[in-house]
Chain A
Amino acid sequence: MKTLNLTCILVLTVFYSQNTFGQDFIRIGAAHDFQKNKVVQTFSFDFNRTEKVDEKKGRFLLFDKNDFYILPTSDVNIGDGVTSSENNILFQLNLGKAFYGTKWKSADNLTTYVWNKAIEFNPSYNSDKLFSEKLTYGQAKFLLNFISARHNGAVEPIFVKTEHSIATGLFTNLGYRYSKTYDTDNLYSTFGVLLDYKTRLLNSKNEENWVFKVTGNYYYIASDVSQLTSDNFGGIIKSSIDRLTFKNTYLGLSHKYGNDNPNYKYVHTLELSVKIKY
């Protein structure tokens, strides 16, 4: 097989506006698709003009009382770039109960640790952008989240220097698949594990110098429309590194490998990109 060389030329024109809200960003990049052996241009943006949405945590709670919560989430990818993306349209309503652990400190008192747990039941809808594969299911999830953060020192002005968060859990999906492609339907049932890891290295201005992320899942397909996949297992792993290069501008490298619903379409890409937060 021919050696794959990735050469990316990044052209960037951004109209810079005054800092209004920290979470908005534009990301422009080039990705190599190993499945098709070609370079594709990627472009994504994220605007949040509603003050209450904390994009960083990606959450806007509808309800929270005594650690019971209702959290609507959505993930919508529409456009040309969807071949290198797995979920095209996903809506979930997370109904959960969180159990917050007791904090403890390192011997030098600079690091704080905690274990959190959560159980969730999530009614979900997942389809591709043409609505040819539709999944309607309930998801039960158990999550374990370990968080640690280290300060620069014990004398003011202090700031968080490193933060690690690793979440892992078990999930099971049970529902119904309608496949327009094969004009058939079936019981949809999977169970598996998930992983969500993030490390941030920050400077004294609270800017993220480095951000490392790995997210993924791996699951057993107990029942689905048999024409869609001959695999017994499905899963995807996504990893990324972002480096602050100059003010609000990040250089990023990300890798995706695996398949995911609704189509079980294999994805294998390596992307180099520039992200501007403003």
Chain B
Amino acid sequence: MTNQEKLQKIIAAYTPLDYTQIDLKRTIKDNYIASAFKDNFCHDICICWRSINSTQLRNDMFVKLKTGEDILKILNYVEL
């Protein structure tokens, strides 16, 4: 499974949509995931990609990291 699919699945778990319908170009906050779920969402990402910098991720989430593509860039970098 690609990083893109994994991320789509994580996001889709917070929505009524199937993971294939998750548009990674769209703003996540309050469209797919309510802002109160921020910590849960970061937790899901950290479980899936263990080597990610969790502190940085949580501080940047929904601020610098607004769309799925923003997050994907980090995930692809982490896996290099």
A: residues with CB less than 8 A from B are: 51-54, 56-57, 60-67, 98, 100, 103, 105, 108-110, 112, 114, 116, 147, 149, 151, 153-154, 156-160, 163, 165, 198, 200, 202, 206
Say yes or no: is B4 at the interface (Cβ < 8 Å to chain A): no
Interface string of B27-39 (1 = CB under 8 A from A): 1011111111111
Query: What residues on A are CB-neighbors of B36 within 8 Å?
Result: 147, 149, 163, 165, 198
Question: Does B59 make an interface contact (CB < 8 A)?
Answer: yes
- How far apart are the CA atoms of A256 and B79 in the complex, in Å? 50
Cβ–Cβ contact B55 & A63, under 8 A: yes
**A51, A61, A103, A158: the one within 8 Å of B16 (CB):** A158
Q: How many A-B residue pairs have CB under 8 A?
A: 91
Confirm or deny: B73 has a beta carbon within 8 angstroms of a beta carbon on chain A.
Answer: no
| Cβ contact within 8 Å between A156 and B21 | yes
Interface residue? B40 (CB, 8 A): yes
B32 → chain A closest CB, angstroms: 7
Structural contact, B39 and A98, CB atoms closer than 8 A: yes
Q: List 20 A-B contacts (CB under 8 A).
A: A51-B63, A53-B63, A56-B35, A62-B55, A67-B43, A100-B39, A112-B13, A116-B39, A147-B34, A149-B37, A151-B15, A154-B16, A156-B17, A156-B21, A156-B23, A160-B34, A163-B30, A198-B36, A200-B34, A206-B27
Known: A54-B59, A64-B54, A206-B31. A103 touches B15 (CB 8 A): no
Interface check B62, CB cutoff 8 A: yes
What DSSP secondary structure best describes chain B's contact surface?
A: mixed
| 9 closest Cβ pairs, A-B complex | A149-B34, A154-B16, A206-B30, A163-B34, A109-B16, A64-B55, A160-B34, A165-B36, A100-B43
Q: Are A116 and B62 in contact (CB under 8 A)?
A: no
Would you call B64 an interface residue if the criterion is a C-beta within 8 Å of the partner chain's C-beta atoms? Answer: yes
* Cβ contact of B17, chosen from A61, A158, A198, A206, cutoff 8 A: A158
Closest approach, in angstroms, between the C-beta of B35 and any C-beta of chain A?
A: 6
Q: A54-B61, A114-B40, A160-B33 are known contacts; what are 17 more A-B pairs with Cβ within 8 Å?
A: A52-B60, A61-B58, A62-B55, A64-B55, A67-B43, A100-B40, A103-B13, A103-B14, A103-B40, A108-B16, A112-B34, A112-B37, A116-B39, A149-B33, A149-B36, A163-B36, A200-B34
